[in-house]
Amino acid sequence: MVDLKDNERIDYMYSDNLRIIQDKTAFSFSMDTLFLAYWAKDLIRDKDKVVDLCAGNCAATIYMAYFNRAHYDAIEIQNEVYSQAVRSVKLNEMENRISVFQDNVLNAGHFLRKDSYDVVTVNPPYFKAPKGHEVNPDRKKAIARHELLINLEQIIEVASG
């Protein structure tokens, strides 16, 4: 079993087979996350090496890993969300196949080998950083939704090596 912080809960995916630790007050995985993982899982073979960029709490990573024997590296920048990802991986007993890194995706080239992945997945922030408009005052939610720390062009550049 894993420890939960006061602001956390365990949510279930794919019936009750998969458990994800989430912050009650932060951005939670959504149907977009599940659609991405559902679509991508069919492209992943057991021998593949997969990197999941902007992994959040690893909901998509864990869902994909449930259906194959591939190895996954997941990268998440936010400390608290990274902690949830690591504990969610442990909760689902996938530590031998999912490695979680806490870093900015822009730094991935420093610790992930070029041309070493068969599949790259990403569920990026989906709104441009607004100019002159406010974003969600909750920093964790704002980072998950808006291109505050990285944008799609940068993600594509990192993913292409």
**138 domain residue, yes or no:** yes
Q: Give the CATH number of the domain where residue 51 resides.
A: 3.40.50.150
Task: Check if the beta carbon of residue 146 is closer than 8 Å to that of residue 129.
Answer: yes
Mean pLDDT of the chain: 88
pTM of the entire predicted model: 0.87
Burial 18-38 (b: 16+ CB within 10 A, else e): bebbbbeebbbbeeebeebbe
The reported pLDDT for the residue numbered 82 is 97
**54 domain residue, yes or no:** yes
Domain with 20, as residue range(s), is 8-159
Q: Is the pLDDT of residue 141 over 80?
A: no
**Domains in the chain, number:** 1
pLDDT tens, residue by residue, 47-81? 999 999 999 999 999 999 999 999 999 999 999 99
**2 domain residue, yes or no:** no
Strand extents, DSSP E, 26-131: 49-53, 71-76, 98-102, 119-122
Tokens at 92, concatenated = 């689902």
Instruction: Report in angstroms the alpha-carbon separations of 37 from 40, 109, 125.
Output: 5, 24, 16
**72 domain residue, yes or no:** yes
- Distance (Å, rounded) from C-alpha 66 to C-alpha 18? 8
Q: Is the pLDDT of residue 144 over 90?
A: no
Q: Is the pLDDT of residue 146 over 70?
A: no
**1 domain residue, yes or no:** no
**89 domain residue, yes or no:** yes
**3 domain residue, yes or no:** no
Q: Is the pLDDT of residue 129 over 80?
A: no
Q: Is the pLDDT of residue 142 over 80?
A: no
**What is the residue whose two structure tokens read 């995916």?**
13
pLDDT tens, residue by residue, 25-41? 887 888 889 999 999 99
Work out the burial of residue 145: count CB atoms within 10 Å of its CB; fewer than 13 is exposed, 13-18 middle, 19 or more buried.
middle
